[in-house]
Structure 1
């Protein structure tokens, strides 16, 4: 009996709160000057930070899961869009508990799927020289950065990390929990840490 009451409460809670997440996301996008297309759908609360020099453009039919109550596959977090550079997201893109950290440039094509917990970084955040790292402002200024490009139909498996300077070709697949530090040609599957070629599609 208690179990039935709990499940009923959970269902009612979902019906009450789920409809508010997309309007809240649209408000956050508006306040951060994020341009987005039609049919945006968001589950959960987002973490959005776009600086004055940051630019974000999002196509149609973006779907985002964010936080601990959506896409329950473990390692849940809010979806994070942190943009100091230029972030562009194409049409029909899906992401869950994703972190897009754009200091320079990240470009995501059409029909791309980012599995739960995927992180994309276009910067090293810190310099390799320990003397430079002692100066926070210099450390940030001199940290290496390079564009990240995900072309159309790319699928990134859950909990993978894509590092700066990587281009992932059309139709490519990255296996779960991979660390991608170099570019992947189109129509290939890569996986591992570091990610390596597995097979052609």
Structure 2
């Protein structure tokens, strides 16, 4: 009896949550001026598109912001931040779980990409590498930025970090927990910290 009641309540919670997730996500995207087509969302992402920034989403985006959407052990919601004169462009049939995309330069994700839970994509070092500059008011003005491009059919494992200036070629796979510091050709598996070549697919 207890098991039946628990499962019934859980099912009702999921149905209710799905409705409010879609509604909340729709509102957040619209309020930030995001151009989008079709999507499904568990939970509501954090979205902040600054004035002068742009965000585009293709068809059939799947966004998981809660442990219910992708029970992989990551509890953060998806985060999309677009700074002025930058953009996030997401293609068709992309799946994103508890991922952070921080665009101080352009981030482009092509079609049929899967991004694992807890992955972060950064287009900046955020701070100067020079200690004297970091101590000054010039720190944020001196940070370096470079775009990131993720090719078609790329699979990025959970808890990866993709750093500024990286391009990942079509059909490549990034192993879980990797830190990607340089561009990766098409059709290869890379993993590690820093990520290195494992084998061709």
Q: TM-score under structure 1 normalisation?
A: 0.95
Deviates further, 149-158 or 62-71: 62-71
C-alpha contact (below 8 Å) 2:63/2:96 kept by paired residues: yes
CA distance in 2, matches of 1:53, 1:67: 30
> What are the residue-to-residue correspondences of 1:4-153 with 2, within 5 Å?
4-37=4-37, 39-84=38-83, 85-136=86-137, 138-153=138-153
Q: TM-score under structure 2 normalisation?
A: 0.95
Measured after TM superposition, the shift of residue 17 of structure 1 is 1.9
Deviations 1:141-194 (A, max 9, x none): 111110101011111011111000000001110011100000000000000111
SS in 2 for 1:30: helix
Q: How many residues align?
A: 199
Measured after TM superposition, the shift of residue 35 of structure 1 is 0.3
Q: Which runs of 4+ in 1 moved over 6 A?
A: none
SS in 2 for 1:64: strand
Measured after TM superposition, the shift of residue 67 of structure 1 is 2.2
**Match of 1:187?**
187
CA distance in 1, matches of 2:28, 2:16: 20
